[in-house]
Amino acid sequence: MKVKFWGVRGSIAAPINGSAIRKKIENILSLATPYDIQSPETIQKFLETLSFSSCQTYGGNTTCIEIRDSANHLIIIDAGTGLRELGNSILGEGFLKGEGRASWLFTHSHWDHINGIPFFVPFYIPGNEFDIYTSVNDLENRLIYQHSDRHFPVSFDALSSTKRFHHFEEETEITLFEKIQISSKSLRHPGGSYSYKIREDDKIVVFASDAEFNIDEMENIDKYIHYFQGADILIFDTQYTFEESLNKIDWGHSSASIATDIALKAGAKKLIMFHHDPSYNDEKLDAVYLRALNYKNMMDKANSLEIIMAHEGLELEI
């Protein structure tokens, strides 16, 4: 399976602004020597020595993930603002001609997980087919409501592609494309949210964003550990620092330290820090990431768990 990240922010889109870009340029120039800018080759070598936040950005779009199975079938998770670019990227795969096919998983219907739909070009093209799977009750009506003329000028029915909604209960298993098994588990989040486990053969991806776990629950978390057990990729909500999570009880999100504890207990191979707070700039996310790495080493240095900070464009393969 392949996983690509198109939107990694939580709550609201947070695009980088001009002053932040200027600050990055000033920082790069202050670090460069005359040798570093002698040629395109030396420039590239110099840039490779810099931290991620110095010359790149984690991204400002909200939740949207692309998953491809071994046969290249497309599965989309959620529809935040990152969906717009995903939609543009797949037009050449038959979606521009109305020949596209994709499956979709929706975790819940908060704005930051659905507000990319009105700008998803493949939805407007007749002939494209989308099978939408969810454990969320009444999802179709929720999406129709988003397209009320009070909210958007184009109704959901006017999006000319074929859209089939399939509801399945928590912890039951469905099969897609003959080889993909998917199950869900409810998470603690205002209004409700669902995690999805996606399995192909012996490879497992678990998506568990918008999930509030706190230190009091860690002693009684066996049912979740079993669900996350052995994930090759565990994409987990790490919106807050541990200190912030103590002051934002019932806001529906977790911290990197709690995510690390869970990943270690579950024997996950890769933990992907996800759903970044919109108030965090790239430098703050660098610091949060470094803190997570230090925490993991403090808790279990010998464990092979790999921790990765999600950013737009990140691609993983298992």
Please give the share of the chain, as a percent, with pLDDT higher than 90: 90
As for how many domains the chain has, the answer is 2
Half-sphere exposure of 283 (CA within 13 A, CB side): 6
Q: Return the pLDDT at 203.
A: 98
CA 95 to chain centre: 23
DSSP H/E element including 72: none
Query: Which tokens belong to 168?
Result: 């399945």
- Residue 250 scores a pLDDT above 70: no
Q: Return the pLDDT at 222.
A: 84
Mean residue pLDDT of the chain comes to 94
**DSSP class of residue 170?**
T
The neighbouring-strand residues paired with 166 are 133
Query: Which tokens belong to 153?
Result: 């000028």
Same domain as 147, residue 135: yes
pLDDT bin (cut points 50, 70, 90) of residue 241 is: confident
Rg (CA), the chain: 20
Please give the share of the chain, as a percent, with pLDDT higher than 70: 96
CATH number at residue 274: 3.60.15.10
pTM for the whole structure: 0.95
- Residue 187 scores a pLDDT above 80: yes
Same domain as 45, residue 170: no
Same domain as 82, residue 50: no
Same domain as 72, residue 39: no
Same domain as 200, residue 147: yes
Q: How far apart are CA 114 and CA 120, in angstroms?
A: 11
Which tens digits make up the pLDDT trace of 270-294? 999 999 999 999 999 999 999 999 9
Which tens digits make up the pLDDT trace of 63-103? 999 999 999 999 999 999 999 999 999 999 999 999 999 99
- Residue 182 scores a pLDDT above 80: yes
Same domain as 150, residue 43: no
Which tens digits make up the pLDDT trace of 157-172? 999 999 999 999 998 9
Range of the domain at 155: 2-15+57-317
pLDDT bin (cut points 50, 70, 90) of residue 219 is: low
DSSP H/E element including 316: strand 315-317
DSSP H/E element including 257: helix 256-266
